[in-house]
Amino acid sequence: MAKQRCLLIFVLFILLLAGCSTGGQTNAKEAAADNNDPEDNRIISTTVAVTEIMDALELDLIGVPTSYKELPERYDGLPEVGNPMGPDMELLLSLQPKKVISVTTLKSDLDSIFTNAGVDATYMNLESMDDMLAGIEALGKEFDREEQATKIVGDFEAKVAAMKEKTAGKESPSVLILMGVPGSYLVATDQSYLGDLVSKAGGNNVFSGEKVEYLASNTEHLQQTNPDIILRTAHGMPDEVVKMFDREFKENDIWKHFSAVTNDRVYDLKEPLFGTTGNLRVGEALDVLYDIFYNEADAN
């Protein structure tokens, strides 16, 4: 029971770290411009990833999340409504939004808060690349941004197709993904966003076929998988987590028996390129993973 409680706390933590014409006639272009009026749509995005997607769709907002990450210039000067996992509801409500967008990974934490405040929130699914693209298409239809959405989706689909062609016939390396926060780490399965990226870049996650995104770590069990490559991701306090990983790999003798360690094929994946959920940096992230998997000299 204690291990399950720790696992739940860990997952919640990473989720924290893890939305003209003339003559009186209105043509399609004018209608699109009107639909981008923030006073008309009155949309608030509560996460950085959603905010970046809204910018790519050329949609204005009336409120944005509070974050140490740089937000799109389009939203400079807008009110900040607090961190993604705990929005300032008094401020949020004062903005009188018509639509509030968060992400599905935070739904269980925010649903009751929004419901009690009378806010009908929308949760965008960014738990895989395919889910993210489907969400972008849905927003495009809802806000008359189908042209922008089609381009975004098309570019990503072309990138995945190109990656599939590049990896065709190559031997897929086995990959272990460690998701770390200060003091502990989990194993990311193929059901996680990072696991999805690894698969699309041609890697073979040693923890595939699972029903959950993350598993508790057990070094003896992990060693039995003997992956070709170990990917380490650091969230929350990245510098501290990397130091934690370095100590763990140095002081725990079992890591010396991993071929990935003896062959110096352990890599640290950094934010914002590699987050816990989908974002618009997918293409660049796939390129980095491809270099790690197949062009080791370039990756290092």
Residue 129: which CATH number?
Answer: 3.40.50.1980
Among 128, 160, 192, the domain boundary falls at 160
What total number of domains does the chain contain? 2
Domain that holds residue 10: 2-160
The Cα 272–Cα 201 span in angstroms is 18
* DSSP code per residue over 14-83: HHH-----STT---HHHHHHHHT-HHHH-EEE-SHHHHHHHHHTT---SBB---SSPPPGGGTTPPB-EE
Residue 165, in any domain of the structure: no
Residue 166, in any domain of the structure: no
Q: What is the per-residue pLDDT across 188-229, written as a single tens digit (0 to 9) for each?
A: 999 999 999 999 999 999 999 888 999 988 888 888 899 999
pTM score over 0.85: no
Residue 35 has pLDDT above 60, yes or no: no
pLDDT at 275: 85
Residue 291, in any domain of the structure: yes
The Cα 79–Cα 76 span in angstroms is 9
pLDDT at 188: 94
